[in-house]
Amino acid sequence: MDLTDATRPVREGEQFDAAKVEAFLKERIPGLSGELTVRQFPGGHSNLTYLVRVGGRELVFRRPPLGRKAKTAHDMGREFRILQALRPAFPYCPEPLAYTDDETIIGSPFYVMEPIRGIILRKDLPAGLNFTPVEARRLCERLIDVFVELHRVDYRRIGLGDFGRPEGYVKRQVEGWSERYRAARTPDAPDCEAVMAWLQERIPPESPLVSVIHNDYRFDNVVLDPKDPFRIVGVLDWEMATIGDPLMDLGGALAYWVDRADPPSMQAIRMVPTHLEGMFTRVELVRRYAEQMGTAVENVDFYYCFGLFRLAVIAQQIYWRFYHGQTKDERFKWMIVAIQVLEQRAMQVIGRSDL
């Protein structure tokens, strides 16, 4: 049984000029011949990802979403650069092949990379794949160990010393994401002012930890080996990667981690199968991370709450595009529910830290 991530025909309104892309690829990548065909990976909620075939060669094509975008978001050149720099030190990265900022080709910058074929775990396990509780725990251990591998990469040695500004990183994130939420809020969304005020008041002291951070690390952004599902062969979606406090990355990962004991509202917005018997709880996840990093993890309620709020902002930005008719992707209609649940969960964390 084939458990690898499947593609579908391109969604309406998300097509691009295949002939122009074919000409670009044949000019930039030696040895390509044959007609270009395109299918789309249906997962993901931000940058659009396609499987492009030219003759017998498969490539992955990435472009920004359509419609309004945050000023600094969806920078294809930035994503391409971090893959180039990071891949030699962190081989889970896809190999980047070609990038262009020439918007005359499809109307936006884009890049292509080598595909990493394998299993991607989404909300529920694919048919034919099951984990015992012991196996589920083993998979969680591996997920966190790869996370720690990333945070231990010497970012200066690989040429990313100027890629971000670690000083004041947490403060800038709180302020920046607060501004983004207010700018993207629709009339049916909660105001989140209490959450934003709490985060602003409780910004932790400057952390001595600085690393490359993925900023969207979760099960459906890692690729598992079809022959050995406990082996991670790829980490995808580097669009929000930067240099900063790795505990902010941990908080982002916690925001996606719905425990099996969480209430129905959280189960309803679960994106990955962290509810399975044997999967880590959030407490166990933090403990494993701290042990492998060799550091104490303090102020977990702050980082978790920020992760929840940031996820709400991302959902709100996506929902804004649907609300204003800039995307026809029906999945985005239900983002408003996720935003409400995330705000409620953040308020629960504020009221009583129960990670």
* Dihedral angle sign, alpha carbons of residues 75, 81, 83, 86: negative
Q: Comparing 18-113 with 133-351, is the CATH topology the same?
A: no
Give the separation between CA 147 and CA 152, rounded to whole angstroms.
9
- Which pLDDT score is estimated for 179? 97
C-alpha radius of gyration, the chain, whole number = 20
Q: Residue 23: name the closest of 94, 116, 102 by CA.
A: 102
What does the pLDDT profile of the chain (355 residues) look like in tens digits?
456 777 899 988 899 999 999 999 999 999 999 999 999 988 766 789 999 999 889 999 999 987 554 445 568 999 999 999 999 999 999 999 999 999 999 999 999 999 999 999 999 999 889 999 999 999 999 999 999 999 999 999 999 999 888 999 999 999 999 999 999 999 999 999 999 999 999 999 988 999 999 999 999 999 999 999 999 999 999 999 999 999 999 999 999 999 999 999 999 999 999 999 999 999 999 999 999 999 999 999 999 999 999 999 999 999 998 888 887 777 888 899 999 999 999 999 999 865 5
Asked if residue 86 lies in contact with residue 93, where contact means CB atoms within 8 angstroms, the answer is: yes
- Which pLDDT score is estimated for 327? 77
CA distances from 352 to 15, 18, 31, 345, 355 (A): 47, 53, 59, 11, 9
- Which pLDDT score is estimated for 329? 76
Dihedral angle of Cα 16, 18, 19, 20, to the nearest 10 degrees: 50
The CATH number, out of the four listed (3.30.200.20, 3.30.360.10, 3.40.1130.10, 3.30.1360.30), of the domain defined by the range 18-113: 3.30.200.20
Interhelix angle 246-256/282-293, rounded to 10 degrees, is 150
Residue 295 burial class via C-beta count within 10 angstroms: exposed 0-12, middle 13-18, buried 19 and up: middle
Q: Retrieve residue 340's tokens.
A: 């409400």
Q: Residue 16: name the closest of 41, 40, 45 by CA.
A: 40
Bridge-partner residues for 335, per DSSP?
none
Q: Where are the domains of the chain?
A: 18-113, 133-351
Give the separation between CA 46 and CA 316, rounded to whole angstroms.
12
Q: Which fold has domain 133-351?
A: Aminoglycoside 3'-phosphotransferase; Chain: A, domain 2 (3.90.1200)
Dihedral angle of Cα 7, 10, 14, 15, to the nearest 10 degrees: 120
Global pTM value: 0.91
- Which pLDDT score is estimated for 330? 76
Q: How many CB atoms lie within 10 A of CB 201?
A: 8
Task: Identify the residue whose tokens are 């934003």.
Answer: 196
- Which pLDDT score is estimated for 45? 61
